[in-house]
Amino acid sequence: MRRTGSMSVESLMRATTHPKGLYLLFFTEMWERFSYYGMRAIFALFMIKALLFDKALASEIYGSYTGLVYLTPLIGGYMADRYWGNRKAILVGGLLMAAGHFFMFLSASNYRDLAVAQPLLFLGLGLLIFGNGFFKPNISTMVGQLYPKGDKRIDAAFTIFYMGINLGAFLAPLVCGWFGDTGNVADFKWGFLAACVGMIISVLSFESLKDKLMVTPGGTAIGMAPAKKVPPESAAGSSAMPLAQRLVWAAASLGLFAVMYCFLDSGVIGGIIFSTTIIGPLAIIADKALTFAEKQRIGVIYLLAFFVIFFWAAFEQAGASLTFFAEEQTDRNIAGMEIPASFFPSINAVLIIVLAPLFAMLWAFLGRRGWEPSSPAKQALGLLFLSVGYLVIAFGVKGLDPSIKVSMMWLFGLYLLHTVGELCLSPIGLALVVKLAPAKFVSLLMGVWFLSLAAASKLAGILSALYPDPALPEAPEFAGFEITGLFEFFMIFVMLSGIASLILFALTKTLQKMMHGVR
């Protein structure tokens, strides 16, 4: 997930002074995202080419992994708020992720022996899942902690921070794809090793400079563990929940999981992700210490998080079905050289870097004239552009013989429209959590925001499994409709994101009132 702010990055760097700690977080997050997107770029290809999984199984594993990656930040935010502080959580998370990438390297090194490769694969994925849970919400939270409450530079700070994410996301598929996606399945291990090296650089840079740079304007260290003498409600960001109430929420979680698993065929991991995505936020907003206004602001976070599920479920096809499309249905030859399919996700990242300053200036221009859309309206626009992107490629493949490959320009057009959608939607993401969340809940609600990405990523895997495969005996179905070809497959995303966009447009004024003056 990536976002931009309300000013051009160049003008921010030149005209606005930011704490030096911001640039350490920029560098740390850049290398962590390099490791994540580098691994993701070759992960699905590794499963279908080296381990010989079919596309449906590879999609399910991909969706479960990316879903759980965004589920565990709820644990990481809780541990940081109550026990460890942000610094220790980032260190633990970074080391776990470095180990996870190394086990992926070992798995790829033993791809010929599935009895060895598969356990190493799942061990590596498990370490990455829990490592990200500790790392991701806490480094994002520290960006806001560098500034006094209400500081107008926070939006600009997140702009700079997320340019680091996009730089890492741009370089990762190129580097890891160059080493790993060579056409020789034995080389996948080098792509995973490159991701491991990136994560090690991230950890070392943060640990070596955090004591010097991670401080408030007054020189107070940030991200430290809560003082042991502070009552649990202050350290955790929530009043202590009575045992009986905890048991009620636990029972509700088990009941909802049972419904998901038994009646909605979600599977174990899907049941865990979807039930937690519902019960977790409800348990937080039920806290009696919250005022009415705080509950309404948190409600806005929840409602917007619900709508971004539809955005990211379609957007995250970049690592699954769109990678299959690039591999099998796209003419990737340029001047006699074949472009690896793993390179294509870099299109989005480089377009973000190019277009983000232009969009930032556009929002500033509209803002000066009082024409800037509200944050919910921007999200609705983002969903609309996403829908149009899939509509374009759907008509590009309509009636196409499966043996004919399409021009790369169709994928480029899709990624261009998706990037425009991202630039409309993402600015309200993490910065909005920082603005709307009560101070004592920021890390925990950052974890809740990532729950929407968990649900979206799992849904992305479920939808990617519908990708039409001539080798399958029967065509897959969605909501009673048979997916006989790529046109029908891409139209799923047109409809889901288009309908979500229209509903969100209708709710924008209500959401603005619930924000109680926060923009």
For strand 481-482 and strand 477-478, is the pairing parallel, antiparallel, or unpaired?
antiparallel
Sign of CA dihedral 15, 18, 20, 25: negative
Q: Give residue-wise pLDDT tens across range 243-301.
A: 777 788 888 888 888 888 887 777 888 888 888 888 888 888 887 888 888 888 888 88
| The two structure tokens encoding residue 101 | 């990438």
* pLDDT at residue 494, rounded to an integer: 95
Among 71-75, 176-180, 217-221, which range has the highest average pLDDT? 176-180
For 242-345, where are the alpha helices, taking DSSP H only? Answer: 243-263, 267-285, 292-315, 321-328
384 vs 475, more confident? 384
The alpha carbons of the chain give a radius of gyration, in whole angstroms, of 22
Q: Are 305 and 446 contacting, i.e. CB atoms less than 8 angstroms apart?
A: no
- Separation of CA 202 from chain center: 18
Neighbours of 221 (CB within 10 A): 12
| Beta strand segments in 442-516, E | 477-478, 481-482
- Domains and their CATH numbers in the chain: 9-215+242-514 (1.20.1250.20)
Is the pLDDT higher at 227 or at 130? 130
Q: Which amino acid is at 310?
A: F
Greatest mean pLDDT range, 116-130, 291-305, 464-478: 116-130
Tell me which residue has tokens 């070759």: 42
CA–CA dist 90, 24 (Å, integer): 13
pLDDT of 472 > 80? The answer is no
The residues facing 330 across adjacent strands are: 406
pLDDT at 2 over 60: no
DSSP-H helix ranges across 46-113: 55-69, 73-79, 86-109
Alpha carbons 308 and 382: distance in angstroms, whole number:
9
Nearest of 446, 404, 337 to residue 80 by alpha carbon: 446
Measured between alpha carbons, how far is 8 from 12 in angstroms, rounded to an integer? 6
| Secondary structure of residue 333 in the 3-state scheme | strand
Amino acid residing at 404: I
Tell which residue, 128, 90, 74, has the closest CA to residue 225.
90
pTM for the full predicted model: 0.78
Which tokens in the block code for residue 296? Answer: 């309404």
Neighbouring C-beta atoms of residue 338, cutoff 10 Å:
10
In tens, the pLDDT along 250-260 reads 888 888 888 88
Q: What would the pLDDT profile of 169-217 be if each residue is shown by its tens digit?
A: 889 989 999 999 888 999 999 999 999 999 999 999 999 998 888 887 7
Residue 116 pLDDT level (bands cut at 50, 70, 90): very high
Whether the pLDDT of residue 120 is over 80: the answer is yes
CA atoms within 13 A on the CB side of 101: 29
